[in-house]
Amino acid sequence: MKSVAIIGGGITGLTAGFYLQRAGIPVTVYEASGRVGGAIQTLRRDGYLAEFGPNTILETSPKITQLVTDAGLQSRRLNPDSAAEARYVVRYQRPIEMPGSPLGFFTTPLFTLGAKLAVMREPFRPAKRDGQEESIANFVRRRLCAEFLDHAIDALVGGIYAGDPEKLSVQQAFPKLAALEEKYGSMIKGQILGARERKRRGEVAKDRAPKFSFDDGLQVLPDTLRERLGGAVTLNTSVTELAQNTHGWTVGFKSPAGTGQAEHSVVLYAGTAFRLAELNIVSPTSVDLKVFSEIRYPPVASVVLGFRREDVAHPCNGFGMLIPRIAGFKILGTIFSSALFPNRAPAGHLTLTSYIGGERCPELASLPEQQLFNVVCKDLQVLLGVRGKPTFQHTVFWPRAIPQYNLGYGKFRTLMTDIENRTPGLFFAGHYRDGISVGDSIASGLNSVERVEKFLKTGNVSANK
């Protein structure tokens, strides 16, 4: 029977494996590490629950809702506390709540009158439709103003990508934003006029999408998918070579038991771009993957701290705060984890999850643990009025955290499609191709299932498209 090799046991690979197996297609998920989930990692200790990668999933598509249902996790799903909707951006050395309405925008101290007038003028600015890639920084300066870039978008980019707005491509990193200008000539007009189209597709804009987690953190989802897949998941197994043959692919791998090979009809690569660059492919068509090593993954440290409630002056009653570079702090932002979901901290305590490093200060991410704790505490003292010692502290260092969709990134996506078309039965999916959020990764896995099923039925290379 035709089988599928899935390289990578992150959420993309697990989602694809789960649905392929449900369709009656044998799969083997090869995961190089000793656990599944990739960047999704949850720890429960001393009454605290700490997330070291993503903290929530955005429900941008009904397909994400369907995955939760199909995995049998509706009863374990947690929606955020309704009182935790506030989001803050740091300015004037303090977190200021982002406005949630047009009236709130015009009365907020977050922006000056000049910036507010720039937003009002945005629908009347000429659209740029020359087909050339543009950085998100240039895009915002052109359509809004430098103040909006420095005090809002820079903070947002730091929170999402841990990236640099001068380098990130608006077409690649924020394609829907670029599409609004392309189609409607304006971001604001596009948000209004495009709402009906999104509703028809069953999609929700990310800034309005419901967020959710699970009773024991996000790790519940990959762990459950692994349970459903059973013996199809092989841990501590690194794929080192793919050899194309007349019947499909020979997968060469290395495990604690030694080296081995397995035959599969299809290979789906759902790992990271830097590991893809190390993979050797033997094929009648020349395939060189080394170029994918050029995709930038900056280092990031996740620092989770617990405090007594009375030792934090700020109410911490929202989602969290983002911090622009211009504010002069070390951390990129902080999520008010225990305000979002119950049982994230012991009674009378709270959990704060901060991120440090990224493109802004990559050297800080690899500091020794105690130095990291000290740096984060120093910023939190000023921003949130934290005093006293943490009652919980833990950090995870991600040496290569998030792929940067920088200017020119389109060449990598084009190359992936070209390789798929030249080597039938090889597919690419995941955060390096289809978006970096958990929801994007789930959608990427689901889309790859459709492509793989079509290929297995037709054997036609056009199924890759």
Maximum Cα–Cα distance across the chain: 68
Q: Is residue 410 part of a domain?
A: yes
Q: 368: domain range?
A: 42-83+298-398
Are 79 and 28 in a shared domain?
no
Q: Is residue 286 part of a domain?
A: yes
Q: Is residue 99 part of a domain?
A: no
Q: With CA atoms as reference, report the closest residue to 4 among 426, 463, 422, 457.
A: 426
CB burial string 422-448: b at 16+ within 10 A, e below = ebbbbbbbbbbbbbbbbbbbbbbbbbb
Q: What does the alpha-carbon distance between residue 30 and residue 55 come to, in Å, rounded to a whole number? A: 25
Are 24 and 46 in a shared domain?
no
pLDDT for 102 equals 84
- Burial (0-12, 13-18, 19+ Cβ within 10 Å), 109: exposed
Residue type at position 52: F
The answer to whether the beta carbons of residues 120 and 187 sit under 8 Å apart is no
The answer to whether the beta carbons of residues 319 and 372 sit under 8 Å apart is no
Domain final residue, candidates 170, 204, 238: 204
pLDDT digits (tens, 9 = 90+) for 332-349: 999 999 999 999 999 999
Token pair 């909006």 is found at 148
Q: What does the alpha-carbon distance between residue 183 and residue 179 come to, in Å, rounded to a whole number? A: 6
Q: Is residue 69 part of a domain?
A: yes
| CATH code (residue 197) | 1.10.3110.10
Q: What does the alpha-carbon distance between residue 286 and residue 423 come to, in Å, rounded to a whole number? A: 9
Q: Is residue 91 part of a domain?
A: no
The tokens for 37 are 């989930």
Domain final residue, candidates 398, 424, 449: 398
Q: What does the alpha-carbon distance between residue 135 and residue 168 come to, in Å, rounded to a whole number? A: 5
Are 307 and 392 in a shared domain?
yes
Distances 371 to 160, 325, 348 between C-alpha atoms, Å? 24, 20, 27
- Residues contacting residue 386 through CB under 8 Å, at least 6 positions apart: 307, 311, 312, 313, 377, 380
Give me the sheet containing 27-30, strands edge to edge: 233-234, 27-30, 4-7, 266-269, 426-428
Are 171 and 238 in a shared domain?
no
Query: For the whole model, what pTM was predicted?
Result: 0.93
Q: What does the alpha-carbon distance between residue 133 and residue 372 come to, in Å, rounded to a whole number? A: 37
Are 313 and 363 in a shared domain?
yes
Are 339 and 364 in a shared domain?
yes
Are 351 and 340 in a shared domain?
yes
pLDDT for 206 equals 64
The answer to whether the beta carbons of residues 287 and 269 sit under 8 Å apart is no
Secondary structure E strands in 288-374: 300-308, 320-322, 331-335, 349-357
pLDDT for 205 equals 64
Are 152 and 198 in a shared domain?
yes
The answer to whether the beta carbons of residues 268 and 427 sit under 8 Å apart is yes
| CATH code (residue 266) | 3.50.50.60
Angle between helices 438-458 and 11-22 (to 10 degrees): 40
Q: With CA atoms as reference, report the closest residue to 298 among 158, 415, 429.
A: 158
Domain final residue, candidates 398, 428, 449: 398
Number of domains in the chain: 3
What are φ and ψ of residue 41, in 5° steps? -150, 125
Are 262 and 173 in a shared domain?
no
Are 291 and 303 in a shared domain?
no
| CATH code (residue 375) | 3.90.660.20
Q: Is residue 393 part of a domain?
A: yes
- Burial (0-12, 13-18, 19+ Cβ within 10 Å), 264: buried
Are 254 and 290 in a shared domain?
yes
pLDDT for 465 equals 46
What are φ and ψ of residue 446, in 5° steps? -65, -40
Mean pLDDT by 10 residues, the chain (465 residues): 93 98 97 97 96 93 94 96 88 95 91 95 91 95 96 97 98 93 90 74 69 96 98 97 95 96 97 96 92 98 98 95 98 96 95 98 97 98 96 97 97 96 96 96 97 90 48
Q: Is residue 89 part of a domain?
A: no
Q: Is residue 170 part of a domain?
A: yes
The tokens for 186 are 């304006």
Question: Which strand (E) or helix (H) includes residue 280?
Answer: strand 280-282
pLDDT for 260 equals 96
Are 66 and 194 in a shared domain?
no
